[in-house]
Amino acid sequence: MATINPNNVLKIKECDKNIKNKFSLKWFEKIGTVNVGKIETNVTIGEDFVKIDIPGQASCKLGNKQINYGSRGFIALEDHAKSTKHTDLLKSSVSTHRIDTMIKQYSVEGPSNESGGQGSETTQTPPVVPMCDRISNAEATVLAVVAEHGMPLSCTPTLVSLAKTLAQDSKALSEIKLDRTAAAYKTKYGLAESFHQKLVAKLRICPFSLNLDEATSSNKKKS
């Protein structure tokens, strides 16, 4: 889905030449009131949308949803901005930072605390990140881990599913500490032992068969 640069006025006019309500750059300046949670907030509605290369269509940056403004004009964008789904995305994105901003803010030196002449701390609020960018950032992180550790791409869906499962208990996830030694110990004496006990208990009550195939070892003896 190609987007059109707002500064490219001629391309926007050419795209909407047969549309009743044509896209207007003045929409980016219009202020509207939306309910973010239980708080009424004045927002510049046009900032959440971008013109795409489809006549009479714009795209919502937060939800990556196409909006048809051809028949209703700016009202279509305003109604979408006031919808429950859009305001929920707006609320969740307020506390989310861009990855590059977080890297700069929490670099090796730690969070920046600049003191002025009177010893006051100054902080900068990171910009709001649309949902589509947050999803792309998460996907890029997963793919970077897969590439860095030489894992097959077929493991990617499993990693995503694992991340979603672990994220359901964020407190427990934050306390997980598994270095190489601990992982080896807990796999051998924890996980493996548990599986072994369950298998033995199951074999004691369930019939099973053994299929033995004679084979010749390197010293020509049958095993």
pLDDT digits (tens, 9 = 90+) for 60-119: 877 778 888 888 888 888 888 878 787 777 666 654 544 554 444 444 444 444 444 454
What torsion, rounded to 10 degrees, do the Cα atoms 189, 190, 191, 195 define? 80
Q: 119 in the Ramachandran plot: left (φ > 0), alpha (ψ -120 to 50) or beta?
A: left
Cα separation, 54 vs 2, whole angstroms: 8
- Can you tell me the mean pLDDT for 153-164? 92
Question: Please, which pLDDT band fits residue 152 given cuts at 50, 70 and 90?
Answer: very high
Mean pLDDT of the chain: 76
Q: Write down the residue that tokens 């795409």 correspond to.
A: 52
Ranges of each domain in the chain = 9-94, 100-105+127-171+179-205
- Can you tell me the mean pLDDT for 26-34? 74
The pLDDT score that the predictor gives to residue 128 is 62
